Amino acid sequence: MRREAHPPAVDFFARQAAARRQTRLLVLGFALALTAVVLALDAVLFWVLAIAQSGFPVLTPFEFARLNPGIAATCTLIVLAVLVLASLFKSLQLRAGGGAVARALGGVRVGRDTTDLRLRRLLNVVEEMAIASGVPVPEVYVLEHEAGINAFAAGHTPANAAVAVTRGALERLDREQLQGVIAHEFSHILNGDMRLNVQLIGWLFGLFVLTFIGRTILRGSHRARDRGAPLIVATGLALVVIGYVGLLSGRILQAAVSRQRERLADASAVQFTRNPQGLKRALLAIAALPAGSRLTAVDAENVAHMLFAAGLTRRLFATHPPLVERIRALDPHFDVRELERLEALSMLTSGGTMDAPGVARLTESSDVAEPIAAQPERIAACVGNPDDLDVRRAHAIHLALPPEVRELTGSPDRAGALVLALLLSHIPQVRARQLRLLADARGAEEAAAVERAAVHVDRLAPLLRLPALQEAFPALRALPLADRRALARLAHALIVADARIEIFEFCLARLLERLIEDDLQARPPHGRLTLAQVEHDLHVLFAVLARSGAENEAAARMAYEAGISRVLPRHRPPYAAITDWTSALDMALARLDRLQAPAKELVVEGLVRTIAHDGWMSVGESELLRTVCALLHCPLPPFAPADERANASQASASAAAG
Known catalytic residue: 451? no
Which strand (E) or helix (H) includes residue 139?
strand 139-143
* Helix, strand, coil shares, percent, the chain, to 5: 70, 5, 30
Query: 221 to each of 86, 238, 241, 563, how far by Cα in Å?
Result: 24, 14, 17, 72
Determine phi and psi for 373, rounding to 5 degrees: -65, 130
Please check whether residue 404 is in contact with residue 456, taking contact to mean a CB–CB distance below 8 angstroms: yes
Question: Which residues 6+ apart lie within 8 Å of 136 measured at CB?
Answer: 130, 158, 159, 161, 470, 473, 474, 515
Write out the DSSP string of 488-505.
HHHHHHHHHHSSS--HHH
Please check whether residue 134 is in contact with residue 156, taking contact to mean a CB–CB distance below 8 angstroms: no
* Sign of the CA dihedral running 330, 283, 272, 184: positive
Amino acid at 134: G
Of 283, 339, 311, 326, nearest in space to 166 by CA: 311
**CA–CA gap between residue 399 and residue 336 (Å, rounded):** 39
**CA–CA gap between residue 608 and residue 604 (Å, rounded):** 6
Please check whether residue 109 is in contact with residue 146, taking contact to mean a CB–CB distance below 8 angstroms: no
**CA–CA gap between residue 151 and residue 541 (Å, rounded):** 40
3-class secondary structure, 370 = coil
**Residues 361, 364, 366, 369: what is their CA dihedral angle, to the nearest 10 degrees?**
-20
Write out the DSSP string of 457-470.
HTT--HHHHHHHHH
Which strand (E) or helix (H) includes residue 348?
none
Amino acid at 623: E
Of 122, 143, 127, nearest in space to 306 by CA: 143
**CA–CA gap between residue 50 and residue 269 (Å, rounded):** 58
User: Which residue out of 127, 139, 176, 185 is catalytically annotated?
Assistant: 185
Please check whether residue 498 is in contact with residue 425, taking contact to mean a CB–CB distance below 8 angstroms: yes
Report the catalytic residues.
Answer: 185
